[in-house]
Amino acid sequence: MAHTDTKADDHWVKDGDQRERTVGFPELFFDLVFVFALIQLSHFIVEDFTLAGLTEGGVFALALWWVWIHTAWVTNRLDPERMPVRALLFGLMFLGLLMSSAIPKAFEERGLMFAATYVAMQLGRSLFAIYAFNGVMENVRRNFVRVSLWFALSAILWIWGALSDPHARLIIWYGALLLEFLAPELRFVVPGYGRSTTEDWDISGEHMAERCGLFVMICLGESILATGRSFSDQDISPLIVVILAGSFLATGLMWWIYFHFGHEKASQEIEESDEPGEVALHVFTYAHIPVVAGIILCAVAAEHLIAHPVETGGLARALVICGGPMVFLAGNLWVKRVTTGYLPWSHIAGIAALLALLLVTRGWVTLWTAALAVCILFAVAIWEYRRLARIPHEADEVGELRGE
The closest alpha carbon to 36, from 80, 81, 68, 58, belongs to 68
In the predicted structure, residue 395 carries a pLDDT above the cut 60: no
Strand partners, 340: none
Give the model confidence (pLDDT) of 215-258 as tens digits.
999 999 999 998 888 888 888 888 889 999 999 999 999 999 99
In this prediction, residue 310 carries a pLDDT of 76
pLDDT band for position 29 (50/70/90)?
Answer: very high
The mean pLDDT of 320-329, rounded to a whole number, is 94
In this prediction, residue 271 carries a pLDDT of 64
Instruction: Pick 5 or 169 by higher pLDDT.
Output: 169
In the predicted structure, residue 312 carries a pLDDT above the cut 80: no
In this prediction, residue 318 carries a pLDDT of 85
Contact 387/397 with Cβ under 8 angstroms? Answer: no
pLDDT band for position 269 (50/70/90)?
Answer: low
Cβ-based neighbours of 379, under 8 Å, separated by 6 or more? 346, 349, 350, 353
In the predicted structure, residue 64 carries a pLDDT above the cut 70: yes
Give the model confidence (pLDDT) of 141-151 as tens digits.
999 999 999 99
Instruction: Pick 115 or 51 by higher pLDDT.
Output: 115
In this prediction, residue 42 carries a pLDDT of 92
Q: How many CA atoms lie within 13 A of 81 on its CB side?
A: 12
pLDDT band for position 24 (50/70/90)?
Answer: confident
% of the chain at pLDDT higher than 70: 88
In the predicted structure, residue 332 carries a pLDDT above the cut 90: yes
Burial of 387 (0-12, 13-18, 19+ CB in 10 A): middle
Lowest average pLDDT, out of 60-74, 182-196, 276-290, goes to 276-290
d(C-alpha 247, C-alpha 370), whole Å: 9
Strand partners, 194: 190
pLDDT band for position 8 (50/70/90)?
Answer: very low
3-state DSSP call for residue 194? strand
d(C-alpha 112, C-alpha 104), whole Å: 13
pLDDT band for position 201 (50/70/90)?
Answer: confident
The mean pLDDT of 273-282, rounded to a whole number, is 75
The closest alpha carbon to 132, from 189, 184, 211, 73, belongs to 73
In the predicted structure, residue 324 carries a pLDDT above the cut 60: yes
Q: In whole numbers, what is the pLDDT of the chain averaged over residues?
A: 87
In this prediction, residue 398 carries a pLDDT of 47
Lowest average pLDDT, out of 8-22, 153-167, 204-218, 268-282, goes to 8-22
Give the model confidence (pLDDT) of 376-387 as tens digits.
999 999 998 887
In the predicted structure, residue 204 carries a pLDDT above the cut 80: no
